[in-house]
Structure 1
């Protein structure tokens, strides 16, 4: 059984996925910026699966040279992963007219390029080792534009395009690619979003319920095991996936109502 590599593995969906896969017997490598949070995550994973090897790599996934070096080190020490999940990401909502370009660049750098660097560095070793599964974490904002997510949504739209292409291109190498569109999930990222989320955005995004990280992670793991391209947990994400282009005009109408009612 080959190891599992998870970026963003110190919290949220990434941490939940790492813990679930450790319980299946996989050794785990987790990648995130904060070494303290990584150590805490390692302790949590080992508490759930005491007999696995868990290694931590403190790295910013948007730094191509640094993350590539960390992944090369992990592959050299543990072997090519059987499962690789790019979960690192962040969202900072706000209005386009008010957010600086640097914030647009940072969200694209982490959410899209971070996943790209992660996938690019691991696809070759995974193919040589006999294949495997790659999981990417997107968002409902990849299906339809949502007011207040002008810096975040484009990074998730881009990730959706990458996943759909890699699902085809990597299949002959024995590598499956699955993209997950989580509903609102109780994670530190979601909590941080509240600090800058415009009032209208908060109202627009209501109604889909709040999921816990572990059920979302389990859906992703199950979807990867079945070779599915798309995992869209919950009725809201499933509906956007299947009927997004048809219901987009209704969603835009609804958003305009919320904007008029609640303002920015």
Structure 2
């Protein structure tokens, strides 16, 4: 029976991916901080797919030592995963001049180093088992600097760079890496973002529509199955991926126009 490991697997895109893979017959190891929510997720998945195995682990991906030991425990229980999706992440918008260092550090610890630890720990066992597929979640904020994402965007830029390197370095171990750039997605994280998102940032980031987690997860899993290095759901992300370096000056001008308007209020 195929196996998938998913961080952030109790909500949002991570839960949607877990649901799709459960229906396809994958046993699952899910990692998130909220133990009660994980148990509810496990029950829901087993009700939908009673023939699979679901193991849940309450852990903070930013706590490297604890996360590594938890991943090793999951491997002992289920074996190395065929698919591994790093969906755990945080996004707390705010102006750089107002965000404390600890907030910047936390974004890197969760969004970048949490993903790095996930890949680093699983890479060896997956390669020894014959290979596998990693799925990573970036953001439109990884294409160009966006006003109001001082702590968040750099962590996604770093993830983008890591994915580009891993495409090359893991290929000879039969491990593929798929990076998705989801548009705004109707998740608890997006709701949390709205609490601190500056008005100018809200206007700047409009235009890509609001996607449902199940649709984003479906694109990611299909991309992983096809071995695609990059998945860009929707025309906005497709355009940014193809033309970001060319249109960045225009996007900076557009943002300055919006920022000046909001500062004048």
Q: CA deviation at 1:119?
A: 0.5
The answer for unaligned runs of 5 or more in structure 2 is none
Q: What per-residue deviation string (whole Å, max 9, x for no partner) do you get for residues 179-216 of structure 1? A: 11100000000000000000100010111100000010
TM (norm. structure 1) is 0.98
Residue correspondence of structure 1 range 66-215 to structure 2 within 5 A: 66-215=66-215
The Cα of 1:257 is off from its aligned counterpart by 1.0
- Counterpart position of 2:45: 45
Query: Contact 2:2–2:25 (CA<8 Å) still a contact in 1?
Result: no
Are positions 1:216 and 2:216 aligned together?
Answer: yes
Cα deviations across residues 105-139 of structure 1 (Å, max 9, x unaligned)?
00010000000000000000000111010011110
User: Aligned residue for 1:255?
Assistant: 255
Q: CA RMSD in A?
A: 0.9
CA distance in 2, matches of 1:89, 1:40: 20
SS at match of 1:147: coil
Is the CA contact (8 Å cut-off) linking 1:35 and 1:58 kept in structure 2? Answer: yes
CA distance in 2, matches of 1:145, 1:260: 17
- Structure 1 stretches of 4+ moved >6 Å: none
Secondary structure of the corresponding residue to residue 13 of structure 2: helix
Length, aligned pairs only? 264
* Runs of 5+ unmatched residues, structure 1: none
Matches of 1:29 and 1:69, distance apart in 2: 14
